[in-house]
Amino acid sequence: MFTRFRRKRLNPILRDLVQETRLSIHDFIYPLFVKYGEGIKTEVASMPGVYQMSVDEIIKECTELKALGIYAVILFGIPKIKDSVGSDAMCDHGIIASAIKAIKATHPDMFIVTDLCFCEYTDHGHCGVLDLVHHTVHNDITLDNLARQAVVHAKAGVDMIAPSGMMDGMITAIRKGLDSAGFENLPIMSYSTKFASAYYGPFRDIAESSPSFGDRKSYQMNPANRNEAIMESLEDEKEGADILMVKPALAYLDIVRDIKNHSRLPLAVYNVSGEYAMLKMAAKAGVIDYERVMMETLLGFKRAGADIIITYHAKEAARILNA
């Protein structure tokens, strides 16, 4: 006696009927990088198809995204002036605040998420205020600034805040800041389990956010740790996060499943820059069927337990899903 699994694989319609996991354009959040200026659309060498754009170009991009059925974006800002605390990020006329207002004016139906961090805004490239004695980021002073930055985004009209700095207590601090400014209905999607990963390499080119000294290992997680990865996300749930996240995605699918099994909150994955670049470069070299590998990868995230996928592939995947 044995089981004939192949019985359900013979007919393509039956194959579809018994398919357990499905991708949808509603799963995607598309990253956008906004820069001061006009008519700017600069492709980054390490990430073909991904651009730094001025606000006017982003507004055109949103029209294209909506035509594809993508209504959710995550915004990253590249300021003109960087300083030790990242002032541009806490200014009502800073790059992100003005971008949110401009996009919303033309596209009120676009769902705008903002990455909430300081590494793009500080002259040292770290994710908060420096603690010069300990050569790291000062946790609790950074918390005050994160709350301030969140209220700036909220006042500009953002739809969801996504803090990515891995400071302890960041969700408590941001929630408190938002609530006391009257934004108790603004959701927080926490980068709750974020590893210190070499897969962010290309992102730091496009966001111009490489640390000028050292690395991020004193705040981002050690890739070797599984128990800590679960605890980090559960802590953010306790502090009031509405959505959790694992980042990067591809090398951490065990963590995605672990967190899915430990929390009932929606879970996002960030399919990061290095993961995207690897597929693009392999395609360029002619060694993979790019579209099939891409769809298989995205499906893998969902099967592992992701409800939301932040991905640079969103437009390409949408074209395939819409076909």
**Contact residues: ligand PBG, CB under 6 A:** 115, 117, 119, 127, 164-165, 200, 203-204, 216, 272-273
Min dist. Cβ of residue 286 to ligand PBG (A): 25
Q: Measured from the CB atom, is 127 or 158 closer to Zn ion?
A: 127
Of these partners, Zn ion, ligand PBG, none, which one is at the site of residue 203 (CB under 5 to 8 Å by kind)? Answer: ligand PBG
* 127 part of the interface to Zn ion, by CB under 5 A: yes
Mask: binding to Zn ion, 246-275, rule CB under 5 A, as x and -? ------------------------------
Quote the least distance from Cβ 117 to ligand PBG, whole Å.
4
Closest CB to ligand PBG among residues 1, 193: 193
Residues in the chain: 323
Residues with a known catalytic role? 194, 247
Give the integer Cα–Cα distance in Å for 285 and 110: 36
d(CA 198, CA 258): 22
Q: Which of the listed partners (Zn ion, ligand PBG, none) does 200 bind, with a CB threshold of 5 to 8 Å by partner kind?
A: ligand PBG
DSSP secondary structure, 42-80, as one string: EEETTEEEEEEEEHHHHHHHHHHHHHHT--EEEEEEE-S
| Closest distance of CB 158 from ligand PBG, Å | 16
Measured between alpha carbons, how far is 146 from 70 in angstroms, rounded to an integer?
28
Can you read off the two tokens belonging to residue 306? 């992701």
Strand partners, 195: 221
Cα dihedral angle (195, 44, 214, 131), rounded to 10 degrees? Answer: -80
Q: Could you tell which of ligand PBG, Zn ion, none binds residue 115, using a CB distance below 5 to 8 A set by kind?
A: ligand PBG
Reading the block at residue 103, the tokens are 């996009």
Residue 204 or 257: the one with the smaller Cβ distance to ligand PBG is 204
Structure-block tokens of residue 314: 């969103």
What sign does the dihedral 83-88-89-95 (CA atoms) show?
Answer: negative
Among 117, 156, 160, 249, binds Zn ion (CB under 5 A): 117
Contacted by 262, from ligand PBG, Zn ion, none: CB < 5 to 8 Å by type: none
